[in-house]
Amino acid sequence: MQLSRLNRVRAIDTENATMTVEAGVPLASVQHAAAEAGLLFPLSLAAEGSCAIGGNLSTNAGGTAVLRYGNARELVLGLEIVLADGRVWNGLRGLRKDNTGYDLKQLFLGSEGTLGIITAAVLKLFPRPQTSSTAWVAVEDVSAAVRLLGVARQALGDRLTGFELISADCVTLTRAHFPALPDPIPGYNWYLLLQADDASANSPLPAQVEAALADCLSEGLARDAAIAQSDAQATELWNLREHIPEAQKREGANIKHDISVPVSRMAEFLSRAKEALDDAIPGVRYVVFGHLGDGNLHYNLSAPGGASSPEFLDQTSRANRIVYDLVAALGGSFSAEHGVGQMKRGEMERYKAPIELELMRRLKQTLDPQGILNPGKVV
């Protein structure tokens, strides 16, 4: 959506810890404006240099700090919307408490532009972290990773900002295309990238992260761990994580899934999906990474070595059915943070309860009776 002329930060209220911003402001500029005011806007994703806050809010973007701050929809206090009939709803309230009826803004957040056009928003701001700790941890399997998540949450509370799972195959693939990236602890099956932040400058956080990881090592939950000793090392670890999608793109044909399941079912999901896919597409390569702390994985497949791209991509529907049927059986979602758009409308028909689809269509009919807003998307 072309809203680049809506490019102003209208106001920053540091006492209320809010920012009022127009929809076309790039996410990186929103983060920058918050930092200039001594505060933090925590939404962060690889596309932050190119995407706009209006796009982030209309897709309810997730990113790397959902564990602590929530999805985009949880970072919004008010919206300004242009409705399908051309009227403007000014809901730019900066209130953390407002129980005056339906929370209408939530209808527009995550609705991918199908119910109204977001022109401005009041965003929540947070204290800037003054102390951070970033660790790269080797684990034997995903069950150990999930148990380690529990230990880290207990030890660090809501200072645990990010908890990413990365397979060893992802590291190999990414370093094949970006050889300058590090391989901090080679030789294990799975890795975790753990980020913890504290707003206090004199925080004991680094020592607490070290102690929690030492416990995990002695209990056998972790096999090895490396803690970044500088901001530059922390950035390198995150670079390794953030370059996985681009490396997979360079590698060739791929079939991508952005799924979520309850964290407690993640290990079961991975073993059952692999068993079924190994059977269906012999030699398929797995590129599995994502936000384990949120129960959200990018469960991507690459063509077996030597397979032609068209031959592999012909398997897309089959692979999708295996993955999404299993996700549904485990109480998960076929689209955790990437939305529905046009591509996943068929999955809506298959996996959403008829009553949910009916309610969505009635809302669409009420707010956009002529179907002029993003026709053919979502419902």
- The answer to whether residue 221 forms part of the interface with ligand FAD (CB under 6 A) is no
- The length of the chain is 379
Site for ligand FAD in 323-342 (CB under 6 A): 337-338
How far apart, in whole angstroms, are the C-alpha atoms of residue 34 and residue 347?
A: 38
Q: What's the min distance (Å) between Cβ of 367 and ligand FAD?
A: 12
Among 301, 287, 186, residue whose Cα is nearest residue 241: 287
- The answer to whether residue 62 forms part of the interface with ligand FAD (CB under 6 A) is yes
- The answer to whether residue 374 forms part of the interface with ligand FAD (CB under 6 A) is yes
Q: Residue 231, CB half-sphere, CA atoms under 13 Å: how many? A: 4
Using CB under 6 A as the binding criterion, the count of chain residues that bind ligand FAD stands at 25
Q: What's the min distance (Å) between Cβ of 84 and ligand FAD?
A: 11
- The answer to whether residue 162 forms part of the interface with ligand FAD (CB under 6 A) is no
Residues β-bridged to residue 139: 190
Structure tokens at 346: 């068929």
- The answer to whether residue 46 forms part of the interface with ligand FAD (CB under 6 A) is yes
> Is 355 or 372 the residue whose CB approaches ligand FAD more closely?
372
Among 34, 59, 35, 37, residue whose Cα is nearest residue 45: 59
Q: What's the min distance (Å) between Cβ of 9 and ligand FAD?
A: 15
Q: Which residue has the tokens 């799924």?
A: 259
- The answer to whether residue 348 forms part of the interface with ligand FAD (CB under 6 A) is no
Q: Which residue has the tokens 């939305």?
A: 339
Among 145, 135, 185, 152, residue whose Cα is nearest residue 269: 145
- The answer to whether residue 70 forms part of the interface with ligand FAD (CB under 6 A) is no
Phi and psi angles of residue 86, each rounded to the nearest 5 degrees, phi first: 95, -10
Stretch that binds ligand FAD, among 51-59, 95-103, 203-211, 345-353 (CB under 6 A): 51-59
- The answer to whether residue 83 forms part of the interface with ligand FAD (CB under 6 A) is no
Among 169, 188, 174, 266, residue whose Cα is nearest residue 226: 188
Q: What's the min distance (Å) between Cβ of 159 and ligand FAD?
A: 21
Structure tokens at 283: 């030699």
Q: What's the min distance (Å) between Cβ of 191 and ligand FAD?
A: 18
- The answer to whether residue 248 forms part of the interface with ligand FAD (CB under 6 A) is no
Among 12, 23, 212, 255, binds ligand FAD (CB under 6 A): 23
CA 191 to centroid of chain Cα atoms: 18
CB 348 within 8 A of CB 378: yes
Closest residue by beta carbon to ligand FAD:
55
> Is 65 or 135 the residue whose CB approaches ligand FAD more closely?
65
> Is 212 or 287 the residue whose CB approaches ligand FAD more closely?
287
Among 37, 47, 226, 363, binds ligand FAD (CB under 6 A): 47
Q: Return the DSSP state at 352.
A: S
- The answer to whether residue 59 forms part of the interface with ligand FAD (CB under 6 A) is yes
- The answer to whether residue 51 forms part of the interface with ligand FAD (CB under 6 A) is yes
CB 294 within 8 A of CB 260: yes
Among 20, 58, 195, 248, binds ligand FAD (CB under 6 A): 58
Structure tokens at 225: 């761990």
Residues β-bridged to residue 138: 191, 224
CB 159 within 8 A of CB 170: no
Residues 6+ apart with CB under 8 A from 2: none
Q: What's the min distance (Å) between Cβ of 73 and ligand FAD?
A: 11
Site string for ligand FAD, 103-142 (x = CB under 6 A): ---------xx---xx------------------------
Among 264, 263, 262, 261, residue whose Cα is nearest residue 325: 261
Residues β-bridged to residue 378: none
> Is 198 or 294 the residue whose CB approaches ligand FAD more closely?
294
Q: What's the min distance (Å) between Cβ of 126 and ligand FAD?
A: 19
Query: What residues line the site for ligand FAD (CB under 6 A)?
Result: 1, 3, 23, 45-47, 51-52, 54-56, 58-59, 61-63, 112-113, 117-118, 245, 337-338, 374, 377
